[in-house]
Structure 1
């Protein structure tokens, strides 16, 4: 989010209480790439040790109106994600209703690494991301309190005036509104894409941004990542990721294009624009016109899979 958000004295007091009265909290620095909440990183000195933390403030009123339990959800998601064996942030404290911070808030540990959107070895990059996602999906998360739902109602989607192939979009909406293929539920990240994967050198150091995690079909996670890759780099990157995921997951995963199409419809409302997170991490050359072109191209590519 581009606008500046002030960390109030009440928020600082809550951080102090959460980390211990004797802790010394250093300056809070805004993190780049956040588009639906405000994120800050800071260091706290506790018992002579310097420890890094991240504070998330849920400030988007529209999102809170739809999901008022976001802070509680993220806290539970981080605990559940910790069972996957992957490196994820650890929950420290959360303010569920904004009683202490003015807005719902989550305090978590900060894991090391950086976002890589222009890899030196794309094939290795895709392979590692696919392997990490397949590991998430091995965890069934039985009893986890949040389950998958589509972000858009395909039956209510309107004919896209921006598209050069609106009839094909209407076909996609009809397919997604139809009968879903059977899929076993597991833990899904629900927002798995390259800006939520951290790297140290050629290896993934951690996965972040678990606020949307839930139990659901693995295919929707694969489809969401593929959509991001198709928009960022083109269809070959999306197909490369699918091939890498199928190899990593083996017989535990059966591909169905329905979930790719459903992931696409989830983000097909309104005219496509460049995702600010990509430019925040240094990707240049993307335009809204290119996004519209790639949305259409990816749609047509997916529909061909239904004609085979």
Structure 2
């Protein structure tokens, strides 16, 4: 797969007119997003070009990156966007760091993740077309439909009923909407930026907090989720609300058999986490949340 020369020319003109293209590399299965490494006047610059089919997710990402910059939230800078183009594209700053998930848990990292989420959630936000209301992670995916199409699972059915029987709690704040370790850049234990903002919007803080806690439990076990919570509460200066409810919602925002989550987590440096392990840990996480919710 190669990047269309027209799109490459647009990216160069937007980022560094007249620059030489030193490298073009597809970052996901050899395609979009594309890394472009440019050289101009002896200086190098990296940018990332995201090519879409539907402009809506890119419109959300543009709005989220602009708001993040205004609010001082850690995120890449937006370089340029052409949402009406064919195809729609956005160009963002390439930052140093990586998103590989360590095999062994780092308390410092987990608490930094919670703190970064708290900074994001300090920004009040009214839903708007580009940043709509979000009530669960990865809201663009119909996980309920996946459960209906799969073999009945009593635990997930119990979780779904528990979530549906309660009103959605919490005030609208700025949420990332797909917050897990694979969408965070690090240098060592220093958090550089939150990336991939196409599920962002306005919703309760628990959308992201539950997602991070579920991801930590998947990667390291139940205790790791509490380090996320401690980091969030220390940064926010208050207890998190409705944690058990949002843990249930986050667990329901996974495929019943963990599906493509297995490949996504494996691709972030954790091939040790097979389907069986991830299903077991997800189920332990949701069982613990349901027990707290019932109590």
State if a TM-score over 0.5 links the two structures: yes
Ranges in structure 1 where 5+ consecutive residues have no aligned partner: none
Q: Which residue of structure 2 lines up, in the alignment, with residue 261 of structure 1?
A: 248
Q: CA RMSD in A?
A: 2.6
Ranges in structure 2 where 5+ consecutive residues have no aligned partner: none
- The alpha-carbon deviation at position 121 of structure 1 amounts to 6.3
Deviation larger for 174-183 or 190-199 = 174-183
**Counterpart selection for 1:112 from 78, 96, 111:** 96
Q: What CA deviation, in whole Å up to 9, does each residue of 1:79-121 have, x standing for no partner?
A: 111123233211112232442xxx3221111111222421776
- The alpha-carbon deviation at position 187 of structure 1 amounts to 0.5
Helix, strand or coil for the counterpart of 2:215? helix
Q: Do the aligned partners of residues 92 and 232 (structure 1) sit closer, same or farther apart at CA in structure 2, a change above 3 Å counting?
A: same
Given the alignment of the two structures, is residue 43 of structure 1 paired with residue 30 of structure 2, yes or no?
no
**Counterpart selection for 2:124 from 140, 150, 153:** 140
Q: Which residue of structure 2 lines up, in the alignment, with residue 245 of structure 1?
A: 232
- Tell me if structure 2 keeps the 8 A contact 1:38–1:56: yes
**Counterpart selection for 2:278 from 259, 276, 291:** 291
Q: Which residue of structure 2 lines up, in the alignment, with residue 122 of structure 1?
A: 106
Tell me the distance in 1 between the aligned counterparts of 2:104 and 2:243. 30
- The alpha-carbon deviation at position 158 of structure 1 amounts to 2.3
**Counterpart selection for 1:23 from 13, 19, 24:** 19
Tell me the distance in 2 between the aligned counterparts of 1:19 and 1:205. 21
Q: Do the aligned partners of residues 181 and 70 (structure 1) sit closer, same or farther apart at CA in structure 2, a change above 3 Å counting?
A: closer
Tell me the distance in 1 between the aligned counterparts of 2:202 and 2:41. 39
Helix, strand or coil for the counterpart of 1:212? coil
- The alpha-carbon deviation at position 149 of structure 1 amounts to 4.4
Tell me the distance in 2 between the aligned counterparts of 1:201 and 1:157. 38
- The alpha-carbon deviation at position 142 of structure 1 amounts to 4.3
**Counterpart selection for 2:264 from 277, 292, 299:** 277
Helix, strand or coil for the counterpart of 2:177? coil
**Counterpart selection for 1:161 from 151, 154, 162:** 151
- The alpha-carbon deviation at position 20 of structure 1 amounts to 5.0
- The alpha-carbon deviation at position 223 of structure 1 amounts to 0.6
Tell me the distance in 2 between the aligned counterparts of 1:229 and 1:201. 18
Q: Which residue of structure 2 lines up, in the alignment, with residue 209 of structure 1?
A: 196
- The alpha-carbon deviation at position 182 of structure 1 amounts to 2.9
TM-score (norm: length of structure 2): 0.86
